[in-house]
Amino acid sequence: MNTQPTLTKDGQETGTTGTPHSSDGLKAGLKNRHLSMIAIGGVIGAGLFVGSGSGIAAAGPAILLSYALVGAMVVFVMRMLGEMAAARPSSGSFSAYADQALGRWAGFTIGWLYWFFWVVVLAVEATAGAKILESWVPAVPQWGWALIVMVVLTATNLGSVASYGEFEFWFAGIKVVAIGAFVVIGLLAVFGVLPGSDNPGAGFAHLTDSGGFFPMGAGAVLTGVLMVVFSFMGSEIVTLAAGESEDPQKAVTKATNSVIWRIGVFYLGSILVVLTLLPWNDKSIVEKGSYVAALDSIGIPHAGQIMNVIVLTAVLSCLNSGLYTASRMAFSLGQRGDAPKAFAKTNQRGVPTAAILGSVVFGFVAVFFNYKWPDTVFAFLLNSSGAVALFVWLVICVTQLRMRGIILRESPEKLIVRMWLFPYLTWATIAMIVGVLGYMVVDGGSNREQVVLSLLVAALVMAIALVRQRLGKNVAPVEELERV
């Protein structure tokens, strides 16, 4: 149950313990250092470590352009989201803004699709982490490790938002330090100044010495875009978490302004190091993974195990954040009458217990499907959520076109983060996202299946939203989205 709040001198609500609460019942338990590390680590998913080798094999050195294109798209989307989140911090983030700007059907649809996406991600990451742990301790079966990981991180999220923030601070910190060290050590080896390195130190020669910069043709850049776009999903988590921070406006502004260098260093920087240490067509990049192959070329012992530790950290970070994100979206939907009312209730610690448990139950079901029917039921779940990331970014763009006018009319002083070259760059970003979706359909295979199935699921959810709206099931539009 919610505690009865009292007001401090500055008008901020507190619970019975005197700890600040947001107006929606969540506790402002995330510190600035938590938000900073969530913002930095949020763009570093396990996909960067695991999937980059396939992208390099498909596009050669031109994969750098693929990462740059997707990175630019994410920077623009985050700038738009930052504009809205700084003005109106909310645990529902873009779903709540779509609700206000586009209509109740839009907030309902994108909110549930996003929740569905992260519930499926929980199963994917739990299985990935279990495989690594089973290789270390084979006495425990893979399903047992998946269960242990899910239970531990569920308990973490049920404890308090501060415990989530603390876990994520250290998970993200390990990823950041690991990639930072990889880039520095790798560049030293690239230029032949790393003591004891086994790498010949060829400088940037490998970018062109095996068939040129476009060995697979310029069109492979677009193929690379499809392969790397989903590794960027998660950068928007910081805007959901900002609603439970000490200073939402400051946290969102800082995260939005730093997204360029974060993507530049962690994605472009690390992939550049791989491509300069090894020829793009070196078989070890695919067989061992791009980062392990690069570390082996330098002569670092036990590179595979080192990378397994880092990948496991990335997996646990993604699981931790995925559960947090799904539960907060469910909480926001509950507040707006678009989910069971129990999801909108918080306990004395400001934790939405029902929203967390509801999300993790479906996560456990998805894990079961992954083990029982990986090629049928779970494959359907995976493909039907595959394009949701792009749908979310598209909705953010369209919402920002409308929200700019609403913010200027109602609270222009809160427009402290502004999208560049509005509305032209917003429209250009929309065109980029639609172009990627269109190319996925044209490309065929699993990409087309992901778009088609995701569109079908989105159409089903939207139909439910419109029927509910017609029947008057929705509550009145939420006015209390702002904390400041």
The whole-number pLDDT of residue 133 equals 92
Q: Do residues 266 and 260 lie in contact, with contact meaning Cβ atoms separated by under 8 Å? A: no
Q: Do residues 57 and 285 lie in contact, with contact meaning Cβ atoms separated by under 8 Å? A: yes
Q: Which of 317, 288, 245, 238 is nearest to 32 (CA)?
A: 245
User: Two tokens at 68?
Assistant: 């740059």
Amino acid letter, residue 132: I
Interhelix angle 104-136/46-59, nearest 10 degrees: 90
22 phi-psi bin (left φ>0, alpha ψ -120 to 50, beta other): beta
Q: Do residues 325 and 333 lie in contact, with contact meaning Cβ atoms separated by under 8 Å? A: no
The whole-number pLDDT of residue 48 equals 78
Q: Do residues 97 and 453 lie in contact, with contact meaning Cβ atoms separated by under 8 Å? A: no
For residue 373, report the phi and psi dihedrals to the nearest 5 degrees. Answer: -135, 65
The whole-number pLDDT of residue 169 equals 87
The whole-number pLDDT of residue 357 equals 93
User: Two tokens at 262?
Assistant: 């974060």
CA distances from 197 to 203, 278, 281 (A): 14, 13, 21
The whole-number pLDDT of residue 8 equals 37
Q: Report the helix count and the strand count for the chain, using DSSP H and E.
A: 19, 3
Q: Which helix H or strand E contains 21, and what residues bound it?
A: strand 20-21
Angstrom distance (rounded) from CA 371 to CA 343: 28
Angstrom distance (rounded) from CA 44 to CA 41: 5
Q: Which residues, listed in sequence order, are joined to residue 21 by a DSSP beta bridge?
A: 13, 27
Q: Which helix H or strand E contains 95, and what residues bound it?
A: helix 93-101
Angstrom distance (rounded) from CA 120 to CA 117: 5
Three-class secondary structure of residue 476 per DSSP: coil
The whole-number pLDDT of residue 363 equals 85
The whole-number pLDDT of residue 2 equals 41
The whole-number pLDDT of residue 4 equals 38
Which residue in this structure is represented by tokens 């313990």?
Answer: 17
The whole-number pLDDT of residue 474 equals 53
Q: Do residues 116 and 388 lie in contact, with contact meaning Cβ atoms separated by under 8 Å? A: yes
Three-class secondary structure of residue 245 per DSSP: strand
- For residue 161, what are the contacts with CB-CB under 8 A and spacing of at least 6? 26, 27, 29, 30, 244, 350, 351
Rg, the chain, Cα only: 22
Amino acid letter, residue 104: R
* Sequential pLDDT tens for the chain (484 residues): 344 343 333 333 344 334 444 545 677 777 777 877 777 776 676 677 777 888 899 899 999 999 999 999 989 999 999 899 888 887 788 999 999 999 899 999 999 999 999 988 888 888 888 888 998 999 999 889 988 999 998 988 888 888 888 888 888 888 888 888 999 999 999 998 888 888 888 889 999 988 999 999 888 898 888 888 878 877 788 778 877 777 777 778 877 777 788 888 888 999 999 999 999 999 999 888 888 899 999 988 888 888 888 888 888 888 888 888 899 899 999 988 898 899 989 888 888 999 999 999 988 888 888 888 888 888 888 888 878 889 999 999 999 999 999 999 998 998 988 999 999 999 999 999 999 999 988 887 788 888 999 999 999 999 999 998 888 765 444 444 443 3
Which residue in this structure is represented by tokens 């939907």?
Answer: 333
The whole-number pLDDT of residue 402 equals 93
- For residue 68, what are the contacts with CB-CB under 8 A and spacing of at least 6? 268
For residue 7, report the phi and psi dihedrals to the nearest 5 degrees. Answer: -100, 140
Buried/exposed 176-188: b ≥16 CB within 10 Å, e otherwise = bebbeebbebbbb
CB atoms under 10 Å from CB of 400, counted, come to 27
Q: How many CA atoms lie within 13 A of 479 on its CB side?
A: 2
- Length of the chain in terms of residues written: 484
Q: Which of 77, 82, 107, 74 is nearest to 92 (CA)?
A: 107
